[in-house]
Structure 1
Amino acid sequence: MTAYGIAHLRPPAVTAEEVFEYLERIQDTLDPFGGKFLVHGADVQVLEGEWPGALVMIEFPSVEVAREWYDSAAYREILPLRADHIPGDLILVEGCGPDHDSAAMAAAMRSGLQDSR
């Protein structure tokens, strides 16, 4: 199942030279794992709540492959170039399949609530 690495990065006070190096090197760490950017540096249109910063979204073939990329020596080598200079949160999440049905999901959730009463 396709998985996504999603980062919410807060704006740094100053963009350090190391961040540019990170940006120059990250694609080489993604390529062996089939990782590709879906969102990277685009303007965020906030419709509800607050969203200070930027969104980055990277697609991977699976959660396992995404974790292998994150734990790889190549990525671990460049990670401090970003993490030491840009605060943020990073998650890995599995996508839903092409047959996902939110109404069926609601029915299952509703049934589970009723069963626990």
Structure 2
Amino acid sequence: MTAYVIFIREKTLDQSEMDIYAEKITSTLPNVPIQMLSAYSRLEVFEGETPEGVVLFSFPTLEDAKVWYYSEAYQSVVKHRHAGATYRGFVVEGVT
């Protein structure tokens, strides 16, 4: 079942760390077919606080998303995102 990975950037803390993350993130993408659905595109908030940006992409399965997120490759890069901004991130399964 398709799974959606969502990262919500609340506040940028260090743009240079975010630049490093942006430069290195593509090297961590898995060999499974993932699809970038949205990346910091225009958004309109219906409820709650307005985030700085949202990234949304799909993985074939929840397990594929978790394998990527917890991979050594991604974990070596995600430290730059953690140092560069405050985020919320999660994965959610789609419906059948």
Query: Shorter-chain TM-score category?
Result: 0.7 to 0.9
1:12 aligns with 2:17: no
Query: What residue is the counterpart of 1:113 in the other structure?
Result: none
| Runs of 4+ displaced beyond 3 Å | none
Q: Which has the higher contact order (CA 8 A, sep 6+)?
A: 2
- Output the CA distance in 2 between the equivalents of 1:88 and 1:13: 11
Identity of aligned residues (%): 32
CA separation of 1:13/1:78 partners in 2, compared to 1, >3 Å: closer, same or farther?
closer
Greater per-residue strand proportion: 2
SS at the partner of 1:11? Answer: strand
Greater per-residue helix proportion: 1
Structure number, greater radius of gyration: 1
Question: Structure 2: where are the runs of 5+ without partners?
Answer: none
Shift of 1:36: 2.7
How much is the aligned-residue C-alpha RMSD, in angstroms?
Answer: 1.5
Query: What residue is the counterpart of 1:41 in the other structure?
Result: 40
- Output the CA distance in 2 between the equivalents of 1:52 and 1:31: 27
Question: Structure 1: where are the runs of 5+ without partners?
Answer: 98-117
Residues matched between the structures, number: 96
Shift of 1:2: 0.5
Compute the TM-score of the two structures, normalised by the length of structure 1.
0.74
